[in-house]
A = this chain, B = another copy of it.
Amino acid sequence: MLTIKEIAERANVSRTTVSRVLNNSGYVSEEAKRRVLKVIEETGYIPSENAKSLRTKKTKVIGVILPKISTETSSRLVKGIDEILAKGGYQILLANTNLKPEKEIEYLKLLKSRHVDGIILSATNVNRSLIEEIYQLKIPFVTVGQYISGLANVVFDDYQAAKDMVQLLIKKGHKRIAFIGVDESDRAVGYLRKNGYYDAMKEAGLPVEDSWVQKGVFNSESGYESMKEIIEISDNRPTAVAAVTDRLAIGAMQFIQQMGLSIPEDMAFAGMGASELSRYITPSLTTIDFSMEDAGREAAALLLEQISREMNQEEIRTINYRLLERASI
């Protein structure tokens, strides 16, 4: 590998001068500059970012921690993040936790050891030890999807979105509405959306039967199972189902269709997330578009702000959502 030293020798100047040419800083005569650029051109010299970082303490790399790498949500988020970061000359260092909480702390440390200029965390379960670890890092930090006090956050109004969804079903005339959620340790998706459901029902004066409320995980199979459970144990069969993700809704729809019932006549469905699938399945699924790309862009912009301000300050940006009314209700 060619180094700045060799370039300096070949151009008959000092390393200092080469560095000045490279960074367009300080005084350099046209003559010297020309010689240096010529040698760089001829040799194809590429300066080591690594050595540079060691000295300057800036890497132009942002760590992005994701709970899962190949979901539509994640990839849209990353797309938005990359869009903004690329403009600023930053690159993304990926860290995939595969939903394992212990990995989150591990990666936090790893990213710190790599001196990333900032971190964006797309969190699911937020626990105390994770939060403490983040505070200790002292690295510009932005979370997406879950609120953590004292940090910069990009969040969604999960509560209101779920409530809107259920209210739409109510407006459509449904009175017995079931709910398929996820574990409440996921505060945004599990806890807040569930509350949105309960409050919408309560405000409309509608009763909720325990058997209508099921809990699954993030895949369609568990939506299928939850639906089955609802049908099997309910005395009073619901006429509509609100699920916290499109996948859960789609799994549930499959069960209903396999029973020979029709959607939305026998059972109406609503999901959340606006997956591509939701548009193309039959019937198309009513859902909520959280615009993950916007969230990504916002998170990146917020992070760059924190970096330029050289501080970690609480700030909350709420991303707008859109309710997409489709054939499933």
Contacts and interface: CB of A to CB of B under 8 A. Distances in A.
A78 B96 CA distance: 10
B78 A44 contact: no
B82 A49 contact: no
Interface string A91-126: 111111000000000000110111100000000000
Contact of A110 (B91, B114, B276, B277): B91
How many copies of the polypeptide does the oligomer hold?
Answer: 2
Interface string A3-37: 00000000000000000000000000000000000
A79 interface: yes
A47 interface: yes
A184 B79 CA distance: 27
A50 B280 contact: no
A50 B59 contact: yes
Nearest to A44: B136
A215 interface: no
Which bracket fits the contact residues of A?
Answer: 35 or more
Given A69-B75, A280-B250, A93 B61 contact: yes
A265 to B, nearest CB: 17
A76 B78 CA distance: 14
Interface of A: 44, 46-51, 53-54, 59, 61, 69-72, 74-76, 78-79, 82, 86, 91-96, 109-110, 112-115, 136, 250, 276-277, 280-282
13 contacts: A47-B113, A49-B115, A50-B53, A51-B54, A54-B54, A69-B79, A70-B79, A75-B75, A82-B94, A91-B110, A93-B93, A277-B280, A280-B281
